[in-house]
Structure 1
Amino acid sequence: MRIGILGTGNMADALATQWARAGREVTVGGRDMLKAERLAERIGGGVLAGGLRAAAEAGDVVLAALPFGAGAQVVRDLRAELAGKVLVDCSNPVGPGFRLLTEGGPSAAQLLAAAAPEARVVKAFNLCHEDVWRLRPPVFEGRALAVPVCGDDEQALVAVRALVRDLGCAPVDGGGLGRAGLLEATAALFIGLWVGEGADAQAIAPPLAHAAG
Structure 2
Amino acid sequence: MRIGTLGNGLMTEALAGQWVRAGHDVMVGGRDAGRAGEVAKRIGAVAGSLAEAAAYGEVVLLGVPAEVAVDVARMVPAGRTVIDCTNALDHRDFTLAQPATAEAISRAVPEVRVVKAFNLAADSVWRNPPAGLGVPICGDDGVEVVAELVRDLGCVPVAAGGLVRAKLLEATAALAIGIWVSGGDVRGMFPPLADAFGTVLPGQS
Deviation at 1:118, TM superposition (A): 0.3
Alpha-carbon contact 1:82-1:116 (below 8 Å) kept: no
Q: How far did residue 117 of structure 1 move?
A: 1.1
Name the residue aligned to 1:128.
Answer: 121
Aligned with 2:46 (options 30, 48, 61): 48
Separation of aligned partners in 1, 2:27 and 2:109 = 20
Q: Note the alpha carbon deviations across 1:108-145, whole angstroms, 9 max, x for none.
A: 0011112211000000000001000000x423xxxx11
The corresponding residue for 2:68 is: 70
Task: Report the CA distance between 1:82 and its aligned residue.
Answer: 2.3
Q: Match of 2:96, as an amino acid?
A: L
Match in the other structure for 1:152: 140
Equivalent residue, structure 2, for 1:28:
28
Query: Counterpart amino acid of 2:170?
Result: E
- Distance in 1 (CA, whole Å) between partners of 2:104 and 2:27 is 24
Query: Equivalents in 2 of 1:102, 1:63: separation in Å?
Result: 20
Residue pairs, 1:1-213, within 5 angstroms: 1-44=1-44, 47-76=45-74, 78=75, 81-95=76-90, 96-103=92-99, 107-135=100-128, 137-139=129-131, 144-153=132-141, 156-195=142-181, 197-213=182-198
Instruction: Supply the AA of the counterpart residue of 2:23.
Output: G
Which amino acid is 2:79 matched to? Answer: G
Distance 2:28 2:77 in 1: 15
The separation in 2 between residues aligned to 1:172 and 1:74, in whole angstroms, is: 27
Runs of at least 5 residues in structure 1 that lack an aligned partner in the other structure: none
SS at match of 1:70: helix
DSSP 3-state at the match of 2:86: coil
> 1:168 Cα shift?
0.5
- The aligned amino acid for 2:93 is G
Distance 2:134 2:107 in 1: 28
CA drift of 1:73 comes to 1.1
Q: Is the Cα contact below 8 Å between 1:110 and 1:178 reproduced in 2?
A: yes
Whichever structure has more helix as a proportion of its residues is 1
What is the alpha-carbon distance in structure 2 between the residues aligned to residue 40 and residue 199 of structure 1? 36
Identity %: 53
Moved over 3 A (4+): none
**Separation in 1, partners of 2:191, 2:16:** 33
Q: What residue identity is the alignment partner of 1:145? A: L
Letter in 1 for 2:140: D
Give the Cα–Cα distance (whole angstroms) in 1 for the partners of residues 39 and 98 of structure 2: 31
